[in-house]
Amino acid sequence: MASSRSVKILGLAPFAVLVTAMAILYVLDIHTAFEPPLLTPILYTVVFVICCVVSYISTKSYLRSGNLCLSLLSSGTLLLGISALISGWGIYLVGVNASVTVHNIGVLFSACVHFGSAILTYGWPSYHGALPFSLRNRAIMAWVGVIAFMVFLAVVSFQGLLPQFFLQGIGPTPLRQWVLGTAIALFILSAIVFMEIHFKTKSNVLYWYSLALALFGLGFFGVFLIKTVGCLLGWAGRGAQFAGGSYLLVAVLTTVRGSHTKEDKTGVAETLRRKK
Amino acid sequence: MESSELSQTVEIKASSKVKNGRVPTGIEGFDTLIEGGIPRGYLVLVAGTAGSGKTIFAAQYLYHGLSRFNEPGIYVSFAETRKIFLKNMERMGMDFEKYEQNGKFKFLDLVTVKDKGVESIVESILREVSSLHAKRLVLDSFTALAQAFTEGIDARIVMHTILGRTAHLGEVTTLLISEKPLGNKWLGGGMEEFVADGVVTLNYRTEKGWMKRVLQVLKLRGTNVNTVEYSYSIDGHGIRIWPEPEVKRVEKVFTRKVSTGIMGLDSMLHDGVFESSVTMMAGAAGTGKTTAALRFITEGAEHNERGLYVTTEEPQQQLVEYGEGFGFNMKQLIDKGLIKTIYCTPESSNVEQQLLEIKSRLWQYKPSRFIIDSLAPFEHAMNRERYVLHLKSLVSFLKAEGVTSLFLVLGEPVLSITRTGISTLADNIIFLRHVEIESVLRRSLVITKARGSVHDNDIREFEITPKGIIVKGKFVGMEQILGGSPRKSVTEEAAETWAKAFGGKT
């Protein structure tokens, strides 16, 4: 199962493969775009579905525990999923710049929320917040807020109301690089924080979730370097994101009956409390 | 408080008219089995084991003739003295002495004259029949008389040539009592049954460990008889034959819904149950069946609908106290005559008789709501076929009368109703069950059947509070609740592990 030591080590292999591929493709600097009809939208839709599953589980967990980390996690994965969905179909239907703009801004917000969740999990694993609403209302507000924000972002971007992010064949604008660069940094930092917690608690959920965030960070780094959307380097970046989506799914599967370990059942809060 | 025990007489009228040359016996429920009575002039053998009520049967037959038809009668006893007979019958409300004094009745005490010889005995009987102009004659018992014969053939001669002829010529209808030893397949001496015009047997039968009295009309010349065994009882008013349960054809259609008194349950049933419907509520002890039933009946009474509550589990007073404890105003409603309770203990007497008596009470009281709490003692005391037949009869009666009923069934929810085959009789089936979740005993409720109505399919939690039953929401994230081994659903367990992984306490 996904919890065994050998499988965990095997889970690191995609990093080596993808980093190597990206390095080679960056050096080769091939600008030819490969966009087979509907392939990108379908693949991003799969990522969107996985992100929704993770967001749903996180929301259910939040309703059980009231832990704010989980609400942030839910919002973060939902932002990531919707960004992927709009981006995937946007390239096909609207154009490169608009879809890159929506995607990169969505990813930045997702990174921020994930980082907040990681910090809360690390520092205050049972932080509940103090909002004057019931858990259910808070969860609904979070979902509605994320969806409304992404729809708003899509509308203003598709209307050309936002600054330029990407010029096909020329490359990204400095603004886009700041936005995406910040997102990458926050994803990587979040992955590190979650991995650190995993080392302390031995939670398999956190292990796979941490690797998933790292793969997303790597994937975004791949697209950070491209000058043409759909080039081979871009596909390596997309591949890392799809791998990240798969790892999110693995993280969810480790929680399913019969798969979770004793450490998963004990919980981070309890384990960290015992270690102190 | 209007309440009573099931020991009072229930009026099942005996025939009091002579029809088509027949002699009514006056035994409750018996004459209807033989087309209104015994054909005049017939000799009928009444055979039975010790204590089966042969003497009472015969005495009732004679007394009915004396009191209703002014028909003189003679009781010839070879086994019991006059004094004992008169005393015993007086206890049953039969004052033979009165008729003896005005010359309508004669008790021939032949206990001590058996050694006089057969001819002498027969002569004296015939003389008395003739002088009294007797229309009804009882010989108790032929077994004792036959012991006086040295040859077996003598008994047959007496039967054929003397008693038979006399009875027919003089239009004297005779009951010949015969003693049937327990386990003996012959009736008496083994030949009376062939000579007699009719044969009635009184026996015991063991059913599920309980002794049950059964009467069977084996033959009656010139009469269509059903040879099935009929249950009968002996009480302070003599013998009473209990008719076979009748399943009525229900023509009425009810469309009005009535409240169960439990708001959450009404909501699950979409405004309650249909008027005249039968609801079965099954659950183990302590799941809240009685509380629900008390609320059901008081809800009706609060709207001036009369209710009859048959309890087999606890005494009436206890039940009333329970109701008061929940603030259901049981005492007040009973005082107003809107609720009647009956404490019935099927284990203590003939169980089929009790069910028939319940029906009789329903007929008299005419309630709008009816409860049996619970069916378990009836189920335990009867074999499955009889139990289902009686319930069918009761259900059809209730429906025909427009009574909305609630039957409580004790035991594991699904099995308790399906194993006995009574589920088809119910319009609504509600299961109550204890559920252990995280070391806390909770209660669940589910509606598995609501004939002709949509209903909520959720397995809901309910609580018994000081104000009665409160139905809450469904068991979220749990599965296998009905199976008895509740556990968290896959997504719920995943969410729990996920929450723990990210620091939350669940």
Under DSSP, the state recorded for B257 is E
- Is residue A262 pLDDT above 70, yes or no? no
Who among B495, B497, B503 is closest to A69 (CB)? B503
Which residues partner with B211 through β-bridges? Answer: B206
Shortest distance, CA B495 to any CA of chain A (angstroms): 5
Who among B490, B500, B506 is closest to A256 (CB)? B490
Task: Decide: B4 and B334 in contact? Cβ < 8 Å.
Answer: no
Interval B141-160: pLDDT, tens: 777 777 766 666 666 666 66
* More confidently predicted of A167 and B404: B404
Taking an 8 Å cut-off on Cβ atoms, the answer to whether A268 and B500 are in contact is yes
> What is the model's pLDDT at position B418?
67
Which among B478, B480, B498 is the top mutation candidate for probing chain A, defined by the most A β-carbons within 10 Å of its own β-carbon? Answer: B498
Which residues partner with B198 through β-bridges? Answer: B44, B220
Q: Which of residues 186-245 of B touch A (CB under 8 A)?
A: none
Q: Which residue of B has its CA nearest to A203?
A: B501
How many CB contacts within 8 angstroms connect chain A with chain B? 104
> What is the model's pLDDT at position A71?
92
Q: Which of the four pLDDT bands, split at 50, 70 and 90, describes residue A102?
A: very high
- Residue B5: count of CB within 10 angstroms of its CB: 10
> What is the model's pLDDT at position B11?
37
- State percent of chain A over pLDDT 90: 61
> What is the model's pLDDT at position B150?
65
Task: Decide: A19 and A241 in contact? Cβ < 8 Å.
Answer: no
Which residues partner with B434 through β-bridges? Answer: B443
CA distance B68 to B9: 20
Q: Which of the four pLDDT bands, split at 50, 70 and 90, describes residue B9?
A: very low
Shortest distance, CA B263 to any CA of chain A (angstroms): 26
Task: Decide: A197 and A206 in contact? Cβ < 8 Å.
Answer: yes
Cβ-based contacts of A268 with chain B (< 8 Å): 500-503
Taking an 8 Å cut-off on Cβ atoms, the answer to whether B501 and A203 are in contact is yes
Q: Which residue of B has its CA nearest to A255?
A: B494
Distances (CA, A) of B98 to B26, B66, B77, B93, B107: 19, 10, 19, 12, 12
> What is the model's pLDDT at position B349?
62
Q: Helices A13-28 and A204-224 sit at what angle, rounded to 10 degrees?
A: 0
Best CA proximity match to B355, nearest among B329, B327, B388? B388
Taking an 8 Å cut-off on Cβ atoms, the answer to whether B501 and A268 are in contact is yes
**B493–chain A Cβ distance below 8 A for any pair:** yes
> What is the model's pLDDT at position A246?
95
Domain boundaries along the sequence of chain B: 3-242, 257-475, 480-506
Cβ-based contacts of A73 with chain B (< 8 Å): 502
Cβ-based contacts of B500 with chain A (< 8 Å): 264-270
Q: Which fold has domain A5-275?
A: Rhopdopsin 7-helix transmembrane proteins (1.20.1070)
Who among B490, B492, B499 is closest to A65 (CB)? B499
Residue B141, preceding peptide bond in cis (omega within 30° of 0): yes
Residue type at B130? S
State the pTM of this model: 0.62
Taking an 8 Å cut-off on Cβ atoms, the answer to whether A61 and B495 are in contact is yes
Q: How large is the average pLDDT for residues B20-38?
A: 88
End-to-end Cα separation, chain B, in angstroms: 53
Which architecture does CATH list for B257-475?
A: 3-Layer(aba) Sandwich (3.40)
Taking an 8 Å cut-off on Cβ atoms, the answer to whether A206 and B500 are in contact is no
CA distance B417 to B375: 10
CA distance B429 to B438: 28
Taking an 8 Å cut-off on Cβ atoms, the answer to whether B502 and A252 are in contact is no
- Is residue A80 pLDDT above 70, yes or no? yes
> What is the model's pLDDT at position B166?
60
> What is the model's pLDDT at position A214?
96
Task: Decide: B134 and B74 in contact? Cβ < 8 Å.
Answer: yes
Task: Judge whether B3-242 and B257-475 match in fold.
Answer: yes
CA distance B101 to B52: 30
Token pair 């749903």 is found at A56
Best CA proximity match to A85, nearest among A129, A44, A26, A40? A44
- Is residue A241 pLDDT above 50, yes or no? yes
Spatial CB neighbours of B3, under 8 Å, sequence gap ≥ 6: B316, B334, B340, B341, B342, B343
Which among A56, A59, A60, A213 is the top mutation candidate for probing chain B, defined by the most B β-carbons within 10 Å of its own β-carbon? Answer: A60
Which residues partner with B5 through β-bridges? Answer: B343
Spatial CB neighbours of A178, under 8 Å, sequence gap ≥ 6: none
Most confident of A7-21, A127-141, B171-185, B197-211: A7-21
Domain boundaries along the sequence of chain A: 5-275
> What is the model's pLDDT at position B389?
87
**A252–chain B Cβ distance below 8 A for any pair:** yes
Q: How large is the average pLDDT for residues B462-484?
A: 85
Range list of β-strands (E), B27-183: 38-39, 43-48, 73-77, 105-109, 136-140, 173-179
CA distance A197 to A1: 21
**B498–chain A Cβ distance below 8 A for any pair:** yes
Q: How large is the average pLDDT for residues B51-70?
A: 92
Structure tokens at A68: 């704010």
Q: How large is the average pLDDT for residues A84-99?
A: 89
> What is the model's pLDDT at position A179?
96
CA B456 to chain centroid: 37
- CATH for B3-242 (2.60.40.1220, 3.40.50.300, 3.10.580.10, 3.20.20.210): 3.40.50.300
